[in-house]
Homo-oligomer: A and B are copies of this chain.
Amino acid sequence: MNNYDEIAELIKKKKFKFIVTIARGTSDCAALFGSYIFAKYLGLPTYSMPPSIITLEKSNFDFSLALVIVISQSGVSKDLIECEENVRKMGGKTLIISNNTNSPMINHSHFFFNLNADKEKSVAATKTFVMTLLVLLKLTFYSASKKKITSLIDQLSEHLIQDSKNQWNVESVDSSISTGFILSRGVGFALSNEISLKFKELCQEQIEPFSSAEVMHGPRSLIQNSFKLFILSINDDSGRSVQKDSKELMRYTNLSHEISFDKNINSNFFYPSFESSELDPIVIMTKFYPWVVNYSFKKGLDPDNPRYLTKITQTY
């Protein structure tokens, strides 16, 4: 029995009543993605735990019914190591998702998934984000008794290779404007968070993520000409609702772009929906990452060395 099977068994037997995620930065965007699919497909609520609750507040929980997922590319962040130790003491079963097989966290954790993303040479993690989504999808679909996810992932590789020549064009976006929103909803919302981080980190652009439902409560006031608007829609009910919500907002600015599966939209950010649209987030990110690297170059920046940043961020 592999780890996926074992966790799926525990979920089916209701040994876990809720999930806890602990992560920072890009890994936290992946955790947000996880929280949505755990709710959507497994009916499991997720507590996104701020590490400070452990490191500063020394809070104590009853985690006997919790599956605790720690996501850390490097596996060596001190605050996450302290969190993992503590939640285990509180009865939580811990699952580490990391790209480091030497991470001290995996010594005592109950489960470990290796991202196998090879070395991340640049400061900005990209491969590990995509690989984390795959682990979370596989975990979710195993637990929902949909093991065909494994063969779908194989087919997805083919799909991506076939479409690899269709790359998004950096010329379509005005690089002289550095503020905007990226709106999405549903599973797409987590992607918009990660895309926002990369715009900040690699392009020095403040493209802030918002739920297309939340943006109506105040933030829409910002939208005007010379403010960028990216709309990300997934090929599902959430995507259709994003498109509907955004129609009015797109009238406020001359700089709107739709990241969409819909061929009827005149979009520079088209992505071909995979037959199993649950895997579309992977399709989108494999289009976005090469694009954002080129867009960073276009702005005269070095995406491998964003200013002020170091490879491992130590926060406490």
User: A238 within 8 Å of B by Cβ?
Assistant: yes
The verdict on A273 contacting chain B, using a C-beta distance below 8 Å, is no
What 1/0 flags go to A23-35 for Cβ under 8 Å of B?
0111010000000
Complexed CA–CA distance, A39 and B54 (Å): 10
Within 8 A of B (CB), among A236-274: 237-238, 241, 245, 252
Distance in angstroms between the alpha carbons of A46 and B49 in the assembled complex: 9
- Given A17-B65, A186-B56, A241-B316, the answer on whether A217 and B25 have CB atoms closer than 8 Å is yes
Whether the pair A201, B216 counts as a contact (CB closer than 8 A) is no
Q: Are B18 and A40 in contact (CB under 8 A)?
A: no
Residues of B within 8 A of A57 (CB): 39-40, 186, 237-238
Interface residues of A in 189-218 (CB under 8 A from B): 189, 197-198, 200-202, 204-206, 208, 211, 213-214, 216-218
Decide if A285 is an interface residue (CB 8 Å cutoff): no
B241 touches A222 (CB 8 A): no
Taking a contact as CB atoms under 8 Å apart, the answer to whether A185 and B52 are in contact is: yes
Shortest beta-carbon distance, A201 to chain B, in Å?
3
- For the complex, give the distance between the alpha carbons of A253 and B174 in Å: 25
A18 contacts B39, CB within 8 Å? Answer: no
**A216–B316 alpha-carbon span in the complex (Å):** 11
Query: Given A43-B61, A59-B40, are A204 and B222 neighbors across the interface (CB < 8 Å)?
Result: yes
Per-residue CB contact flags for chain A residues 274-316 toward chain B (1 = under 8 Å, else 0) read 0000000000000000000000000000000011110001011
CA distance A170 to B26 in the complex (A): 36
In contact, B51 and A213 (Cβ under 8 angstroms): yes
Minimum distance in angstroms from A316 CB to a CB of chain B: 7
Determine whether A156 belongs to the interface, using a CB cutoff of 8 Å to chain B.
Answer: no
Complex CA distance for A60 and B185, rounded to whole angstroms = 19
- Residue on B with the closest CB to A216? B313
Report the Cα distance A52→B190, complex, angstroms.
14
Complex partner residue of A46 from B36, B47, B124, B185, CB under 8 angstroms? B47
Instruction: Identify the closest chain B residue to A26 (Cβ).
Output: B217
Say yes or no: is A103 at the interface (Cβ < 8 Å to chain B).
no
Is A220 positioned at the interface, with any CB of B under 8 Å from its CB? yes
Q: Check B252 against A308 for contact (C-beta < 8 Å).
A: yes
Q: Does A66 belong to the interface (CB within 8 Å)?
A: yes
A197 with B217: CB separation less than 8 A: yes
Do residues B217 and A313 form an inter-chain contact, with CB atoms below 8 A? Answer: yes
Contact A17 B62, CB 8 Å, known A25-B214, A218-B198: yes
Q: Is the CB of B40 within 8 A of A20?
A: no
Within A151-171, the residues touching B (CB, 8 Å) are: none
Are B43 and A60 within 8 A (Cβ)? yes
- The answer to whether B222 and A200 have CB atoms under 8 Å apart is yes
Q: Are B218 and A309 in contact, with the CB atoms below 8 A? A: yes
Can you give 6 A-B contacts (C-beta < 8 A)?
A17-B62, A26-B218, A43-B62, A52-B241, A56-B241, A218-B309
